[in-house]
Chains A and B, each alone.
Chain A
Amino acid sequence: MLLKELSSLASPLSQGQIEKLKQLTAELNAVQLAWVSGYLAATANAGQLTPAVDTQAAQMLTILYGSQTGNGHGVAKALADKAQAQGYAVNLASMGEYNVRQLKQETVLLLVVSTHGEGEAPDDAIELHKFLASKRAPKLDNLHYSVLALGDSSYEFFCQTGKDFDARLAALGAKSLLPLIECDVDYETAASQWHAEVLNSVKPLIQVSSANVVSIGAVKTTQVNEFTKQNPYLAEVLVSQKITGNGSDRDVRHVEIDLGESGLTYQVGDALGVWFSNNEVLVDEVLAALSLAADEIVTLGSQSLTLKQALLNNKELTQLYPGLVKAWADLSGNVELLALSEDKEQVRHFILKHQFADLVAQYPLVNGANTLSAIKLIELLRPLTPRLYSIASSQSEVETEVHLTVALVEDERHGAARFGGASHFLASAAEGTQVKVYVEPNKHFRLPENPATPVIMVGPGTGVAPFRAFMQERVAQGVQADSWLFFGNPHFEQDFLYQTEWQQYLKNGDLSRIDVAFSRDQAHKIYVQHRIKEQAKTLWQWLENGAHLYICGDAERMAKDVHQALIEVAIEVGGLDIGAAEAYFDTLRSDKRYQKDVY
C-alpha cells in the first residue's frame, strides 16, 4: 500500500502526524525512502517501542524466516510482498531478530525455515527452535500457523527443522493452517503455490486492513541490487587462477569476476550466486548414452530450444536427487537399482558418488535406443540451480570486481572424469567467459559493527574465502584491531591458500596472528580444532575481551569439531561445566559474536 493512501484509521498515527509524514515523503526518492523506513524501524526496535500493541498484532501476519543461504529470506519476502499487496499488515523478520516474548500475542505465524547438515537448524533459527522446545515456551492456543520447510532430499534429515517447528507449534496448541510443506532444492513452484494457499487460508482469520509492512531490525539499508537469482547479471570472468601448488592433489581456483557497470554491490560476508553451464563433454555423453538427438527441440515453460541447449544451460546433471534415482530404477527395471532405491541410506550414499551420466551408464535402459524421449528426459531432470560461493573480496579493495575461492570438485568413475558443475565451469573459464551472477546477502556473517572489536576467524580450506574479504575490508577501512586466523589444509607447501597475502598482512601488522594446521605434513593428522585447543588460553582471553568468532567451511565435520574444541576451551580454561559452556556459546551466538558460514 502506498503512503499517500494512508489514513489515521489504518495506522497508529494521528491525522496530523500522517500529514507531516506525507509532506516529508513526497520529497524523498526511492533510496531515501528505503533508508528512512529502515531507520525508523530500527529506532522503534531499539527503544522497545513495539508499534504493534495487542490489537495491532492481532491484525498482523507475522512472517519469520530462518535460513543460511538466503533462499528462505527470498521465499518469505515474496510472501510478504503478496500479502501486503492483498492488504494485509505484515511483520517480516528473521527468526534471529524476532523477540520470542512476542510469540503469545501472535495470531498468524508463517514460517520459512531451512535445514542443514544432519538435520540442524540454521544459525538464525537456533534460538527460536530451542525456545519452542523449552519449558519457557507459552501455550499458543490462539495461534494459527503454517511452515514451509526448505531442504535437500539427498540428506537423511530432509526438512528436519521445518518438521520440528511444525511439531512443536502443534504441541503448544497452535493450529496449522496447512500441512507442512516440504520443499526440495527446486522449491520455487512449491513456494509460490504455498504463498497462494496460505494467504487464502488466513482470509477468514484476519481482516484486511491498511497497514504498512514492518520490517524489524533493518538497521543498515543495503542498496537494493536490481540483479537477482531470477534476473542475474551477465558478468565476465577476469581470472581463474589455480592457487594450489603443482604437487597438490586438489585444484583450488582463485576466480575474479568483473561486475562492470552492473552497479552490483555486496558486503563482506555475502555470497555470490553463480549460474553455470554444464560441461559439453558430459552433455554429449548423456545424449549418446540415451541415443537422443542434440538438436531435437524441447519446450521449457514458454521457451523452445534444442535438447542440447536445455541440458547445457537449464538442467541439473551433476547433482542427483533421490527422486531421480527412484524414477530411473523404475524406468530401467534394474533389480539392483530398484533394491537400492528403497533404502534411504544407500540412496544418500549413492547420490554423493554418482551423477546422472553414471546412472545412465551403469543402469542402461533395457531396450536400448528410444526408450526415453527427449521430453521425458527433460521432465525427469531437475532445473539447474545456481551455486553459492562465499565472496573472497571486499569492494573497498577490489571495487567492481568480486573474487571467489573455488575448489574444483573432481572424481573419476570407471575411467570417466566427473566434475562438479559450477566448480568445473569456473575452473575452466578462460578470461572473458560470461557468467551469470547475483549477490546473495548473508547478514548473519558480518564484521563487528564496532571496528575496534577483535576477530577470530576459523577458515580451513576454501572456508578461508570470506576472511580474505574481511581482511581487505578492515585494511581498507584502516581498522586497527586484533585479528586471528586459523587455517588448515593437507600440505603446507601445496595447499596454503593465499599464503603470500597472509604473510603480507602479518608483516604489516594487519593480521595479529595466524595458526595453521597442515594435516598431512606429519605422521598424525592435525586440524584447526587441534590448534584451537593448543591456543586455548589465549583464545579464551580473546573471547573474554569481546572478540567475535567466525567459522567458515565444511559443516558436516569441521564446524562441529571446532565447536567441540571451543566447548572444551570454555571448560578447561574458562572453568565452566558443559552446560554452562554450551550456554556461553549460545549467548555469543545470539549476541552475534559467534557466526558461521558453513556448507
Chain B
Amino acid sequence: MSEQKLALNEYLKTDSNYLRGTITEGLDSSVTGSFSDSDQQLIKFHGFYQQDDRDLRNERKEQKLEPLYSFMLRARVPGGVCTPQQWLGVDEIASTLTSSNSIRLTTRQTFQYHGIPKRNLKPLIQGLDREALDSIAACGDVNRNVMCNPNPVESRLHQQAYAVAKQLSDHLLPHTRAYAEIWLDKEKLLSTEDETVEPVYGKTYLPRKFKMAVAVPPDNDVDVYTNDLGFIAIAEKGELVGFNLTAGGGMGSTHGEVETFPRLGDDLGFIKAADVMKFAEAVMTVQRDWGNRSNRKRSRLKYTIVDHGYEKFKAEVEARAGVKFEPKRDVVIGDRGDRYGWVEGVDGKWHLTLYIESGRVKDYPGKTLQTGLREIAKIHQGDFRMTSNQNMIIAGVAAEDKATIEGLARKHGLLGQVITQTRGHSIACVALPTCPLAMAEAERYFPEFIDHIDALQAKHGISEQAIVVRMTGCPNGCARPFAAEIGLVGKAPGRYNLYLGASFEGTRLNKMHRENIQEAEILAELDTLFGRYATERNAGETFGNFTVRIGVVKAVIDAAKDFHG
C-alpha cells in the first residue's frame, strides 16, 4: 500500500521548530492585524485562534481595510476552578485588552476572550501569567482543557477528582518552551534532543485535538461520553477509588460527508486511581501513533477506534499501560444540568450557581454581570468554578457570608430571574459574527429561540420537564449539539438541521430529523411533537426517549452505522 500524503498541518508542525514557526515575526508586522496562514495553525497550540468580524467583511473591503481581525484566546483552567484574585485579573484584562469587553465562559469550563487585537496578545498572555494562568494547549492538536464536575457538594470526592483533572492537564501539557519564549520573554535555551523536548507528543504532536473529562456521578454535566477520553469517578464510602474509562467520543462532523460523524465514547472498563496517568498516556500515545494524519476530518480518536476495532484498540492500550482493565463498575449517570441557586456541601460550606446566558459575562443595561462578578470577587473567600453549561459557581461560601454574596448577585442581575427547566439545561456556541466556521447564528439568536420553546412547552403544559436543547452554528459541535434531545446545527443563515432522540443523560446520540429548515418550520415541528409528548408520554419519560419510542427517529446505537443510516 502506498503511503498516503500527510495533511498540510502535519508538515507545518514538523517544520515549526516545536510550535514557534514565524509567530514572533508575525507579531512584529504592524501593517496587518493577522498572522500568516501557517502561523494561524500554530497559534492554536498557544491557545488562540485568528478570527474576523464577519458582519463587517464586505463593508471593510469597500473601505480598503483588511478584515477586522482579532483573536479569540482560551485559557487553560483545569476543572474550571480559579481564585477570586485570579478572576479579578481575568476581568481587568477583558476590560483593558479586548474589544469585546467581555468574558465568555465556555462549554469546556474555561473562559475565553474575544476581540483581542494582535498587538494586545502579548500583554494579555503576560497578564494571565501574573495570575498563574496560561493558555498553553487550550486549542491545537494536543490535550485540551481537562473538564471536571465542579459541583463541590461532595467536597472530599470532588477534591480528589479535581486533583486528577489538574494532574492530567499538567502532565500532558506540551513541553516546548515556545510559549515561554514568545510570550513571556523567557530566555531561549539551546536546542535539545527531540525526545526530551516533547517526551510524550514528539515533533508532530497529536493528529488532532484531544479532549478529556472527569465526571463525578450521578452528575454528567461534563458530558463525559462526548470526550475522547472520559473518567467516570467511582467512590467507595466517599473516597475516590478509581474510574470507569471511556474512549472515542467526539462531536465534530462535516455536513454531507457520511464518513464523518459524531460519536459517544465506548466503555473500556474500570481502572484504579493510581493507574490514571498510565492509561491516559497509553490512550494518547495510541492515538498519536495510530491516528489518521492524512485526513484531518477523520483524525480524531473516535475514527481510530472505529477503523482499528474496539478490541484491538483496547488491547493496545492495556499493553502500553502495562495494566489490564477491570470490568466496569455499575454507576448511575444522571443529569447534565447545573444545580442553580444555593446548595450546601457536606462540609457545611455553601455554593451558589449563577445562570449566565450563553456564558457571556458582560455589563448590559440593568444587568451588570461583569461588574457583579467583580464585586463578588473582591470579597469572596472561596473560589470560582466555571461549569460545562457555561455558568458560574461561587463556591465555598461560609454561611455568614451568604447574604452579602446573594445581595451582590441580585443587585447586578446575576440572580433573580426565573430560569425555566429547559433554558437551564440548554447551551449554544459563539458562532457569528466572530467564529470563522459558523454558517448560522447561535449565541446571538439562542435566547430568543428558547423563548419560543418555553412558550411552546407552556402551551402544552410540559414546562416542568427539562429538555436539553443545544444550538451550534456549524457541525463541529462546540455546544455538543449531537448529544442534545433537541439539537440544532447551522446550515446557512437562518437555517438549521433539526436533530432529535438523544437521551437526557447524554448516553445516546440524536439523529437528524429534518434538514435545512427555518425557524417557523422548526417551531411547527416541535409544536406537534410537544403536543404528542404531553398526551402520549410514559411516566417519567424524557423527551429524547419519547421521540425514539414513538419512532420519530431511530435510536443511534452504533454511531458509525446509525447516525447517517
- Contact residues of A with B, CB < 8 Å? 241-246, 254, 492-493, 496-503, 506, 514-516, 521-522
For B60, list chain A residues within 8 Å (CB).
245
Complex Cα gap A492–B32 (Å): 9
Q: Which of A243, A244, A493, A502 contacts B33 (CB 8 A)?
A: A493
CB A124 to nearest CB in B, in angstroms, measures 33
Report chain B residues within 8 Å CB of A514.
Answer: 30-31
Contact (A243, B66) CB under 8 Å given A492-B117, A506-B31? no
- The one of B63, B117, B119 that contacts A244, using a Cβ cutoff of 8 Å: B63
Contact digits for B42-64, partner A, Cβ 8 Å, 1 yes 0 no: 00000000000000100111111
Contact B31 A242 (CB under 8 A): no
Question: Does B534 make an interface contact (CB < 8 A)?
Answer: no
Within 8 A of A (CB), among B92-139: 99, 117, 119
Interface residues in B50-96 by Cβ distance below 8 A to A read 56, 59-66, 68
For B56, give the chain A residue with the smallest CB separation.
Answer: A246
A245 to B63, CA, bound (A): 7
Partner of A243 from the list B32, B56, B64 (CB cut-off 8 Å) is: B64
Q: How far is the CA of A126 from the CA of B33 in the complex (A)?
A: 42
Q: In the complex the two chains form, is A499's CB within 8 Å of B68's CB?
A: no
Q: Are the CB atoms of B68 and A242 closer together than 8 Å?
A: no
Rounded to whole angstroms, the CA-CA distance of A492 and B68 in the bound complex is 10
- Contact residues in A for B65 (Cβ distance below 8 Å): 243, 245, 493, 496, 499-500
Residues of A within 8 A of B62 (CB): 241
Nearest neighbor of A515 in chain B, beta-carbon distance: B30
A499 touching B119 by the CB < 8 A rule? no
Q: Which residue of the partner chain A has the closest CB to B118?
A: A492
Chain A residue nearest to B32 in the complex (CB): A503
- Nearest to A502 among chain B residues (CB) is B31
- Known interface pairs A241-B63, A246-B56, A493-B117. Does A503 touch B31 (Cβ–Cβ under 8 Å)? yes
User: A321 CB to closest chain B CB, in angstroms?
Assistant: 36
24 contacts between A and B (CB under 8 A): A241-B63, A241-B64, A242-B63, A243-B63, A243-B64, A245-B56, A245-B60, A245-B68, A492-B117, A493-B33, A493-B68, A493-B99, A493-B117, A496-B65, A497-B64, A499-B66, A500-B65, A502-B31, A503-B31, A503-B32, A506-B31, A514-B31, A516-B30, A522-B119
If A244-B63, A245-B60, A246-B56 touch, whether A521 touches B68 (CB-CB below 8 Å) is no
**Chain A contacts for B117, CB-based, 8 A:** 492-493, 521
B58 to chain A: closest CB distance in Å? 12
Cα A246 to Cα B68 with chains together (Å): 10
Nearest chain-B residue to A514 (Cβ)? Answer: B31
Given pairs A244-B63, A499-B65, A516-B31, 7 additional interface contacts (CB within 8 A) = A241-B63, A242-B63, A243-B64, A493-B99, A500-B64, A503-B31, A514-B30
> Could you tell me the distance between the alpha carbons of A246 and B32 in the complex, rounded to whole angstroms?
18
Cβ of A498: which chain B residues have Cβ within 8 Å of it?
64
A506 to chain B, nearest CB (A): 6
Shortest beta-carbon distance, A377 to chain B, in Å? Answer: 41
Minimal Cβ-Cβ distance residue in A for B68:
A493
What's the minimum C-beta distance from B101 to chain A, rounded to whole angstroms? 13
Question: Bound state CA distance, A254 and B63, in angstroms?
Answer: 8
Considering only CB atoms, which chain B residue lies closest to A521 in the complex? B119
Residue with the greatest number of chain B CB neighbours at <10 A, chosen from A242, A254, A496: A496
Bound: A500/B62 CA distance, A: 10
Chain B, interface size: which category?
Answer: 10 to 19
Minimal beta-carbon separation of A515 from chain B (angstroms): 8
Nearest 6 pairs of A and B residues by beta carbon = A243-B63, A499-B65, A516-B30, A500-B64, A243-B64, A498-B64
- Chain A residues lying within 8 Å of B31, measured Cβ to Cβ, are 499, 502-503, 506, 514, 516
Across-interface contacts of A241 in B (CB, < 8 A)? 62-64
Given known A-B contacts A246-B56, A503-B32, A506-B31, A492 and B66 have beta carbons under 8 A apart:
no
> What residues of chain B have their CB less than 8 Å away from a CB belonging to chain A?
30-33, 56, 59-66, 68, 99, 117, 119
CB contacts (< 8 Å) of B63 on chain A: these are 241-245
Closest chain A CB from B99 CB (angstroms)? 8
Question: Chain A contacts of B32 at CB under 8 A?
Answer: 503
Q: How far is the CA of A516 from the CA of B61 in the complex (A)?
A: 20
Most buried by B among A246, A503, A515, A516: A246
- Tell me which of B31, B33, B56, B68 has the highest count of chain A C-beta atoms within 10 A of its own C-beta: B31
| Distance to closest chain B CB from A467 (angstroms) | 14
Tell me the bound Cα distance from A385 to B150 in angstroms.
72
CB neighbours of B56 from chain A (8 A): 245-246
Point out the residues of chain A lying under 8 angstroms from B64, CB to CB: 241, 243, 254, 497-501
Q: Measured between C-beta atoms, what is the minimum distance from B33 to chain A in Å?
A: 7
- A503-B33 Cα distance, complex, nearest whole Å: 11
Please give, as numbers and ranges, the residues of chain A lying within 8 Å of B61 by CB-CB distance: 500
Q: A494 — nearest CB in chain B belongs to which residue?
A: B65
Whether B66 and A246, one on each chain, are in contact in the complex, defined by CB atoms closer than 8 angstroms, is no
Complex formed: what's the CA distance from A294 to B56 in Å? Answer: 43
Which residues on the B side are within 8 Å of A243 (C-beta)? 63-65
* CB of B550, distance to nearest CB on chain A (Å): 50
Name the residue on B nearest A244 (C-beta). B63
B33 contacts across to A, CB distance below 8 A: 492-493
Question: A142 to B56, alpha carbons, bound, how many Å?
Answer: 70
Q: Which residues of A contact B66 (CB under 8 A)?
A: 499-500, 503
Q: Which residues of A sit under 8 angstroms from B59, Cβ to Cβ?
A: 246
> Of A244, A493, A498, A522, which is in contact with the most chain B CB atoms at under 10 Å from its CB?
A493
A249 to chain B, nearest CB (A): 15
- CA separation between A244 and B32, bound complex, in Å? 15
Q: How far is the CB of A519 from chain B (nearest CB, A)?
A: 13
Closest to B62 in A: A241
Docked Cα-Cα span, A241 to B56, in Å, equals 15
Q: How far is the CA of A501 from the CA of B62 in the complex (A)?
A: 12
A59 to B110 alpha-carbon distance, docked (Å): 90
B424 to chain A, nearest CB (A): 35
Question: What distance in Å separates the Cβ of A243 from its nearest Cβ neighbour in chain B?
Answer: 5
With the chains together, A497 CA to B63 CA distance in Å?
A: 8
Closest A residue, CB atoms, query B30: A516
Bound together, the chains give a CA A516 to CA B60 distance in angstroms of 19
Cβ distance B505 to chain A, nearest Cβ, rounded Å: 45
Residues of A with C-beta under 8 A to B68:
245, 493
Closest-CB distance, B131 to chain A (whole angstroms)? 20
Give the nearest-CB partner of B119 in chain A. A521
- In the bound assembly, the distance between CA atoms of A502 and B66 in angstroms comes to 11
Task: Tell me, in angstroms, the Cα distance from A522 to B56 when the chains sit together.
Answer: 24
Residues of chain B contacted by A522 (CB below 8 angstroms)? 119
Assembly CA distance A521 to B99 (angstroms): 11
Residues of B within 8 A of A516 (CB): 30-31
- Smallest distance from the beta carbon of A456 to chain B beta carbons, Å? 17
Chain A residue, CB-CB nearest to B123? A522
Docked Cα-Cα span, A522 to B97, in Å, equals: 10
Rounded to whole angstroms, the CA-CA distance of A500 and B99 in the bound complex is: 22
Q: How far is the CB of A115 from chain B (nearest CB, A)?
A: 36
Q: Hey, which chain B residues are within 8 Å of A515, CB to CB? A: 30
Q: For the complex, what is the distance from the CA of A502 to the CA of B29, rounded to whole Å?
A: 13
CB distance from B54 to the nearest CB of A (A): 14
Give the residues in chain B near A521, CB-CB below 8 Å: 117, 119
A501 surroundings in chain B (CB, below 8 A): 64
Query: In the complex, which residues of chain A have a beta carbon less than 8 angstroms from the beta carbon of B99?
Result: 493
Complex Cα–Cα for A160 and B336 (A): 81
* Cα distance, A521 to B56, chains bound together (Å): 20
Q: Tell which of B32, B117, B119 has the most Cβ of chain A within 10 Å.
A: B32
Contacts of A499 in B (CB 8 A): 31, 64-66
Q: Which residue of B lies closest to A468 (CB)?
A: B64
Nearest-CB distance from A462 to chain B (Å)? 14
By a CB distance below 8 angstroms, the chain B residues around A242 are: 63
| Chain B residue nearest to A511 in the complex (CB) | B31
Query: In the complex, what's the smallest C-beta–C-beta distance from A514 to chain B, in angstroms?
Result: 6
Which residue of B has the minimal Cβ distance to A497? Answer: B64
Nearest chain B residue, comparing its CB with the CB of A523: B96
Q: How far is the CA of A493 from the CA of B68 in the complex (A)?
A: 7
Nearest residue, chain A, Cβ from B61 = A500
Minimal beta-carbon separation of B149 from chain A (angstroms): 40
In the bound complex, CA of A241 to CA of B60 (Å): 11
